[in-house]
Structures are given as structure tokens and as C-alpha cells.
Amino acid sequence: MDLRFTEQQEILKKSARDFLTKECPKAKVRELEKDPKGYDPALWQKMAELGWLGFNIPEDYEGMGYSFEDLNMHIEEVGKNILPGPYISTVVNTFAIVAEGTEEQKKEFLPKISNGQLILTLAWLEENGQFDASGITLKAAHKGNDFVLNGTKMFVDSAHVSNYMIVIARTKDGAGEDGITAFLVDSKSAGLKTEVIPTIAADHLCEVVFKDVAVSAKNVLGKVDKGWAILQMLVRKGSILKSAESLGGLQAVVDMTIAYSKERVQYDRPIGAFQALQHKMSDMWISMGTSKYLLYEAAWMESEGMPSAKEASMTKAYINEAYKLVSALGVKLHGGIGTSSDHDVPLYYRRAKAADTVYGSTDFHREMVAQQIGLK
């Protein structure tokens, strides 16, 4: 495994950094937090023109055809600069259509995603808060050759502005992995109600209520009753890519804090000269370095098609906690200014808190690691 970025990846990183610095400065981030949509459609189209939305879509379907490793590196840069909106949700869930979609589904959805015409999200979690198969209780009942969905999904990213959702529903009685099906559901379907939930990161997660929502059989993703494997794939890939976003944010906090410690003078000395604070910043640096090695290995394995479920869960479990620790230390080491909403550090602190449960909490992924190493 070579941890060095290729020349192409360095160009992609710089392009993302320059674009976001110009098009989405922190003032824009704060503005979008208060915007009911939570994202900027004009910015979304510019991202599509740059190929961002088609990063992981094959060229045959108007995408860029980059590797998973390339996408991981790109999203790390996105996280460093903060990009509000449904970007990660859309690109992660695109993997399900690429891998499991019919040719008709690929031709219908993938070019629209790549061109910025379609926002995609995942409706997975429910009110019970369970991450495993027993948590899926939303019913999808057969009606002729089609299905009718009833139930509630929680914490659905940007559902209120999405065009389609991948809905994970139960098509067979029981609580196990068999009998779960993935559906492509039009977000404007009759009987579907969406409401934004207030969150610490103002990241526009939604409650989505399904009441007799009709879904055509042609919108089944993969096979009926065999959708759990699709969700596992999305959780695995999403865990890695969400960790990449978190690592980018973590690095931004470390950079800001070290720079501030060299400028802030107390008792006629920069605060970075005090040993107690040096040790705290050393802890931040160590957390950042460890996070990189875990993430880059998981992304490389996933990109090479190697089994990476354990590495994905190790990465997500570790970076969840590292991001929270580093951002909290960043706030403390900035002192009073670090608690001001006008400062950038709290933006990352709030996102670190919110990132914990996206694609699985720390406890969930610790349990996944335990299972992968043979502990029952």
C-alpha cells in the first residue's frame, strides 16, 4: 500500500480546495446552515460541471469513472473545507445503482445524478435507533406486481430536497436479514411526508413518513427480500467516505489550533511554548496520523476489491472518536474565542458530534469489528 498521492490525485485535491475556497467560504457555510434547503442549487450545478457528482459513475453512463481511492481523497478535501448539502449522500448511494441496478435503472438514474439533475439519499434508520436488521420495520406489502410502503424513517439526509430515496423496507415478516428489500422511491410520491429535524450541525436530517406509498416493481433495487447485502455495501463504503470527510475536518482543526498557538501570546510567550498545551496538541497530531493510516488502508482495500468490512468499521469507530476529541481540544485551546459562533472551530466541533451516527455509530462499528475477529 502506497500512501503517497498520485500526481492526478494531487491535482484533484488542489482543484477541490481552490473551488471550495472560492465558492463555499465559511460565510457561505453559515448561510446554508440557516437556508431551508441546506444547499445551494447553483453551487450544486457547478460541482456537476466539474464532474464531482459523477466521480464514481462509469464513463458509459456519463460519469468520470474514478476509483474509490480517488473519491476518498477528494472527499477528505471536501471535509477539510466543509461543504453543506447532500453531496456525500448522493455519491455514496450511487454505488448501489452502479452495483445492483438493472440496465434500465442505470440508464435512467446515473446520467441524471452525474449531470446534477438528481439528488439521492438513503432512508434506513427508524425510530427504534437500531442499526442491525432487527431495526427495519417499515413494511412493503405486495399489491399485484407492485408494493405499498407504510412506516417511518428517521435521520434521512436532505430528504426534503432529494429526488429519489433508496428505502430499506421489510417485504417478509420477521426480524432477520432475509426479507429486506431496497427500493428506489420518488421523493415526491403521494402519501410521503418529509419534515426537517433540528440537529446540532444544522445538517438537514429529516423524518420521512410513508403512508400507503405505491412503488412500482421496476423500482426494486437488486432482488426482492435480498436487500440487506445492498445496505451492508452502502454502510461499508459510506463509513469509509464519511470518515474521509471527518478526517478532513479533523486536519483543519489541527492546522487552525497549531497556527493559533504560535500567534496567541500569554505571559509574554506564545501559548504553544507551554508544555501542557504542547502535549495536548501532540495528542491531536497523533490522532490525526493514526486516523490517516486507518482510513487510507480501508480505502485502498475497498478500491482494490479486497474484503474491507473490518477495516471500514475500525476506521469509522476510531475517527468518530478522534474527530470529537480533536475538535473539543481545538475549542479549549482557542479559549473564549473558540466558543464563538463567529469562529470556524465550532463549525467543525458541531459536525464532529453529528458525524458519529452517520453510517453507524462508534458502538455499532465496535460490535462489527468484534464479529469480524470472531467474537460472538
Phi, psi of 335 (to 5 degrees): 70, -145
Q: What mean pLDDT comes out for the span 132-149?
A: 95
| pLDDT for the residue numbered 72 | 96
pLDDT for residue 1 is more than 70 = no
Contacts of 374 (CB under 8 A, 6+ apart): none
Domain extent listing, the chain: 7-119, 121-225, 229-372
Cell of 354: 453529528
| pLDDT for the residue numbered 2 | 72
Task: Tell me which DSSP letter residue 226 carries.
Answer: B
Q: What is the CATH number of domain 121-225?
A: 2.40.110.10
Lowest mean pLDDT among 4-18, 294-308, 359-373: 4-18
- The pLDDT tens digits of the residues spanning 200-217 come to 999 999 999 999 999 999
| pLDDT for the residue numbered 320 | 98
Give the fold, CATH level 3, of 229-372: Butyryl-CoA Dehydrogenase, subunit A; domain 3 (1.20.140)
Q: What mean pLDDT comes out for the span 151-162?
A: 98
| pLDDT for the residue numbered 4 | 82
Contacts of 352 (CB under 8 A, 6+ apart): 246, 249, 250, 323, 324, 326, 327, 328
**Strand 164-170 with 180-186, pairing:** antiparallel
| pLDDT for the residue numbered 3 | 74
Task: Tell me which DSSP letter residue 231 carries.
Answer: H
pLDDT for residue 290 is more than 80 = yes
Beta bridge pairs of residue 210: 151, 192
Q: What mean pLDDT comes out for the span 249-276?
A: 96
Cell of 84: 453543506
The string over 36-58, giving b where at least 16 C-beta atoms fall within 10 Å of a residue's C-beta and e elsewhere, is ebbbbeebbeebbeebbbbbbbe
- The pLDDT tens digits of the residues spanning 335-368 come to 999 999 889 999 999 999 999 999 999 999 999 9
Secondary element (H or E) of residue 364:
helix 362-372
The Cα-based distances of 127 to 68, 76, 138, 175 in angstroms read 32, 31, 10, 15
CATH architecture of the domain with range 7-119 = Orthogonal Bundle (1.10)
| pLDDT for the residue numbered 150 | 98
Q: What percent of the chain is modeled with pLDDT above 90? A: 96
Mean pLDDT of the chain: 96
The string over 87-118, giving b where at least 16 C-beta atoms fall within 10 Å of a residue's C-beta and e elsewhere, is bbbbbbbbbbbbebbeeebbebbbbbbbebeb
- The pLDDT tens digits of the residues spanning 45-62 come to 999 999 999 999 999 999
| pLDDT for the residue numbered 376 | 77
Q: What percent of the chain is modeled with pLDDT above 70? A: 100
- Helices 309-334, 362-372: crossing angle, 10 deg rounding: 150
